Amino acid sequence: MIAGCASSLVHPKPVAGSNPVILTWRPGTPGIGQTSLTTAAKLMYQATEPFRAQHKGIDIHFDYAGGWNGGDLTSWTSAFTSGTAPDVAEIWANPWVFPEKGFLLDLAPFIRKDNLDMTVWPSGALDYVHVLSARGPQNGGLYYLPAYLNTLAVAVNKGVVSGHGLGFPAPDWTYANWTRLAEALTQRTSSGHVSPRAGMLLMWTQIPPPFLLHAFGGGYVDPTNDLRSGLTGSGTLDFFNWVIPLIKAGVVASGNPWVQNLGSGYCATELYQSAFLVEAVHQFSGLDWDFYLMPVGAAGRFSAGYIDVVGVSAATKQPELAYEFAKWLTWDPVFSAAMMRLSLRSPMRKDQWAQWAHVVQSIAPPLAGKNLQAFTDVATGDQGSVWSGRVFRYDNTGVASILANWWSKMLYRGQDVTTALKQAAQQVDALESIGASGKASKASS
């Protein structure tokens, strides 16, 4: 993360000439370590040079209100309501809020005029952009372009696996295979060991991520109706009945990849993000390790599709130019290639993943020879798909609180899975019904 914060706007050196056209831009976190805000701004500004060269007489000013935090809803709301919102912005958290509040420009007319080929992006990421855009005021509108893709592979401590005389994951391995491997690698203090070791670490902070449920054929949201939950579906039940006993048995742990997990011996296998390969160099130092493809679930092979999205302010005074800049940041391969070199940031375009793997292994020699195809093959669709999930129509944040409450009851209070998910579904559906009724009342008043 970027250390420190600055005033609302940081202005790089302006272009030559008088009165340039100014575009304000709030970028996402560039991910270049503990770099000062001023240095990060300089590097990011340099990365926009090709766009500025193509558009003479314009300059890019950075908007740092709220720091680099693309999910700071308070600062965002204040900026939009006061007319000081940036022309172009990258958002990573609560992205469904901004279209539904009318903060963003509908980009669909510009895309149609451009005849923009959006098949260069993974279908799962594009589906997510459409899901978010459905919250906007224009039916059929598109309020975001996908910025970059952060996906997952399985990092495996090969030394521990070899020490147990076990085989490494095969390309067609399944969740059942992973379960058996994790059970064999789990180390418990009751067995006389100094410290415990989970066989498998799955990544989440509040509730399991939707791509895991999707791999089992389930999901938090009903795929046919975003006013209803998918909590009582067979795939969702299968997932929770799989994961909860493993957590209670100490086989599965949860955590984040920026914490020492595999490297510290806390786990033997773990989900790992393409966005944290710089950290992997340090965390896995001294280990015999590698990346492997996500396993195959009942519904197929799916990996997380964590994406940032780029939108244009509905209040911009330069809509066409702002769209061109948003397109250049997301669709044009030049900026994505610059970010690969700057921070090893993984791309969005499917045709850039081979380039990304080459850049990573060139810049970070400890990653040379590592199986980066475990990331690239799901991103390109060659071996599975990425999945970003769906959102509820009215109160995604409230639903998350309900789900977290019932997850805690299942995990720590012994609540039966089937009963807990049924009751959680009733609460979620009731909450969404309230949202629908409120919207109907506003429409009739």
Report pLDDT digits (tens) over 197-251.
999 999 887 899 999 999 999 999 999 999 999 999 999 999 999 999 999 999 9
Question: What does the DSSP 8-state code read for residue 104?
Answer: B
Strands (E), 234-353: 252-255, 269-273, 289-292, 296-297, 300-304, 306-312
pLDDT of residue 190: 59
Looking at residues 13-30, what average pLDDT do you find? 72
pLDDT of residue 260: 73
Q: Is it the case that residue 443 has pLDDT exceeding 60?
A: no
pLDDT digits (tens, 9 = 90+) for 96-131: 989 988 999 999 999 999 999 999 999 999 999 999
pLDDT of residue 192: 54
Rounded to whole angstroms, the Cα distance separating 390 from 224 reads: 11
Looking at residues 187-196, what average pLDDT do you find? 67
pLDDT of residue 6: 34
* pTM of the shown model: 0.90
The two three-digit tokens of residue 398, written as one number: 């409230």
Runs of H (alpha helix) within 258-318: 277-283
Reported as a pLDDT band with limits 50, 70 and 90, residue 364 is: very high
Looking at residues 147-157, what average pLDDT do you find? 95
Looking at residues 162-166, what average pLDDT do you find? 95
DSSP letter string, 111-141: HHHHT--GGGS-HHHHHHHHHHHTTSSSTT-
pLDDT of residue 70: 52
Least confident of 165-174, 184-193, 278-287, 377-386: 184-193
Smallest CA-to-CA distance from 371 within 274, 441, 255, 282 is with 274
Pick 28 or 66 by higher pLDDT.
Answer: 28
Q: Name the pairing type of β-strands 152-157 and 289-292.
A: antiparallel
